[in-house]
Amino acid sequence: MADRLNGYRILILESREEAQFSRLLAEQGADVLQCPMFAINDAPDPAPIEAWIRRSIEKPLDDLVLLTGEGLRRLMTVVRRLDAENDFVAALAKARKFARGPKPGRALREIGLEPQQTTEKPTSEGVAEMLSHLDLIGHRVGLQLYPDKDHSALIGAIRAQGAEVDPVLPYVYDAKAADANIVTAIEEMAAGRIDAIALTNLGQVRRLIDTAHKHGWDDKLREGFARTPIASVGPAVSNELKAHGLHAAISPTEGAYFMKPLISAMAVELAKGPRRVAR
């Protein structure tokens, strides 16, 4: 059912998944306003990443856990700069590979490899649950991390299974560079030029509120939320909204906490009333 969102202007606050979410919305006819929450940069010090790559080649990992597709792609950029692509890919081929959701799996396929298992829950908790069913005693587990997240619980869970964890953080976020995008998005909501704002992780809620506060736009953000229906992908985002006195007017049915069900829920709810956008 294409064009279910034809004529609606949807604001998305995304990072790694922005392009995919935007494409899915556009396929339904939506006019998408993209607001990147941060810029992604290579890690400022390449030495630890280069050392991790060399260790992985000289002594191949028993298991590799990829948390993001972006992480593997950034690693491959460094690998190619070191002229070590063939050796690195051959070393990874020897390891069992686990992906947090479909995106790391796609990144693996780009270099001719496949994940042995992909977690059904694309969260660190989902990864820990997936790994808990495996024998990791004595294993050396490579763990690709991503920024602005406390990974200590996941690392602790893997170590508790008797494994040695070898983590690598191949990229960083530059939040300051995206502040202007967020201020513009708040202004668009407050002016009534957005039909719905779609939130897919709780960090987006915090980032919006923190940035508005930093720029003295707390009232403007509240005004924007009052005029703009909030679409939440699931309970974690909805609970974060509640913690700040906000309410998700749109959310998928229970258990369907993904982009496509969120888009379907928006199409159903927005069709119930007139378009709110001031054209």
Which CATH number fits the domain that encloses residue 156? 3.40.50.10090
138 and 179 in a single domain? The answer is no
212 and 132 in a single domain? The answer is no
106 and 120 in a single domain? The answer is yes
**Residues β-bridged to residue 107:** none
Residue pointed to by tokens 């070191």: 82
Q: Is residue 48 included in any domain, yes or no?
A: yes
74 and 85 in a single domain? The answer is yes
Here the contacts of 209-216 (C-beta below 8 Å, separation 24 or greater) are 209/244, 211/179, 211/182, 211/183, 212/182, 212/186, 214/179, 215/179, 215/183
Among residues 119, 152, 173, the one where a domain terminates is: 173
142 and 214 in a single domain? The answer is no
Q: In angstroms, rounded to a whole number, what is the distance separating the alpha carbons of residues 199 and 215?
A: 21
Q: Is residue 16 included in any domain, yes or no?
A: yes
Q: Is residue 4 included in any domain, yes or no?
A: no
Q: In this structure, what DSSP letter does residue 82 have?
A: T
The pLDDT profile of the chain, 279 residues, written as one tens digit per residue, is: 567 899 899 999 875 556 678 888 999 999 999 988 777 889 999 999 999 999 999 999 999 999 999 999 999 999 999 999 999 999 999 999 999 988 899 999 999 999 999 987 778 899 999 999 999 999 999 999 998 789 999 999 999 999 999 999 999 988 777 888 899 999 999 999 999 999 988 888 988 999 999 999 999 999 999 999 999 988 888 999 999 999 999 999 876 767 889 999 999 999 987 655 544
What is the C-alpha radius of gyration for the chain, rounded to an integer number of angstroms? Answer: 21
Domain around 61 = 41-173
pLDDT of residue 226: 95
Here the contacts of 87-92 (C-beta below 8 Å, separation 24 or greater) are 87/57, 88/53, 88/56, 88/57, 89/113, 91/56, 91/57, 91/60, 91/61, 92/56, 92/60, 92/61, 92/64
Q: Is residue 259 included in any domain, yes or no?
A: yes
What the block records as the tokens of 77 is 């950029």
pLDDT of residue 259: 83
C-alpha distances out from residue 213 to 132, 161, 206, 219, Å: 41, 43, 11, 9
Q: In angstroms, rounded to a whole number, what is the distance separating the alpha carbons of residues 94 and 90?
A: 7
pLDDT of residue 123: 83
Other CB atoms within a 10 A radius of the CB of residue 45 amount to 9
pLDDT of residue 279: 47
Q: Where are the alpha helices (DSSP H) in 122-201?
A: 124-131, 152-160, 179-190
46 and 31 in a single domain? The answer is no
Q: Could you give the number of structural domains in the chain?
A: 2
Among residues 173, 189, 214, the one where a domain terminates is: 173
